[in-house]
Amino acid sequence: MIIGVPKEIKVHEYRVGMVPASVKELVSHGHSVYVETQAGTGIGFSDEDYVAVGAEILPTAADVFAKAEMIVKVKEPQAVERAMLREGQILFTYLHLAPDPEQTHDLINSKAVCIAYETVTDDKGQLPLLAPMSEVAGRMSIQAGAFALEKSRGGRGMLLGGVPGVEPAKVVVIGGGVVGANAAQMAVGLRADVTILDRNIDVLRSLDAQFAGKVKAVYSTKDAIEKHVLDADLVIGGVLVKGAAAPKLITADLVKRMKPGAAIVDVAIDQGGCAETSHATTHSEPTYIVDDVVHYCVANMPGAVARTSTFALNNATLPYIVALANKGYKQALLDDKHLMNGLNVFNGQITCEEVSEALDLPYVAAEDVIVA
């Protein structure tokens, strides 16, 4: 198969779909890999590094898209990239379609085979290709929150861990999944006062055991969210519903009643955000203020630590890239029900039920269209 790796063009996105080691693996299986020039420079890899492992460098993204049978990216394709997709071409990347009707309609019109990292599952019901970036974003959320709480940024002027004689900041993490657990780990390490809210009792038990009582693991209800958010100095939004838009758990009215200078880091912003007052920001302008509450809503948080993020992502995606290349997409999907769950758009049809529901578009089961 011919695999293409274009340079990411989202604002301040330095990650790349494949590092040279991943390219070498594909080449060893007999595949051809075309990489856009300077695609890896943001994480310290030159064109020569890719050539050394068997890739061919092309001068433009248009050249990569024109030659490749499968495009491997990191972030959702931007409008100019979507216009280059063609019928039957495989797109393997993060998509986050539920809050993005414009992208969804463009992918439908392209008739490409669009497989989303974030809806691929595993035997444990988890999301193995989202997990590494959730780990990064969860850990980064505490750094971002500490930054947002600084007085010069509009925050309360608090140090997360306090100092002897001064109470630490109160950190509330909504969602006890991968993002929430990693956020809590960092916050506990900084000696903050940490509360995690989740609706799964087993998750709360696991977190209680993991942190040996150093966090308060609380069952999430509207009342609990209101109580703890109003008491918080920093709120981390780490909720996730696979493939679907994030639920708006923090209302605009609740934000109005939060402490002046408190901060929200909405890690769920890729799926629309879990606060009604959230809208996507960039690394150039990461924060804004609503009702005296600092909002940090960068939609590609892991892009700020692009080298760590790219390696972590490649570790997870490489086996699937190899399977798609070795078997072709139809056989690879039929052989792996979990990879099949990643199929969001196929030949002009929505094949992810959550995306269909979120955007009120017709749904067709992935298994039915692939077999047909």
Catalytic center residues: 96, 270
- Which tokens sit at 84? 């280059």
Is the distance from CB of 293 to CB of 255 less than 8 angstroms?
Answer: yes
List, in order, residues 6 or more apart from 48 with CB less than 8 Å away.
none
First to last CA, the chain: 22
The residue whose two tokens read 């399977």 is: 323
Phi, psi (deg, nearest 5) at residue 198? -155, 155
- Which tokens sit at 321? 């890239």
- Measured from the Cβ of residue 185, the count of other Cβ atoms closer than 10 Å reads 18
- Measured from the Cβ of residue 107, the count of other Cβ atoms closer than 10 Å reads 25
What is the C-alpha to C-alpha distance for residues 240 and 118, in angstroms, rounded to an integer?
A: 10
What is the C-alpha to C-alpha distance for residues 194 and 235, in angstroms, rounded to an integer?
A: 10
Query: Position 220: which residue type?
Result: S
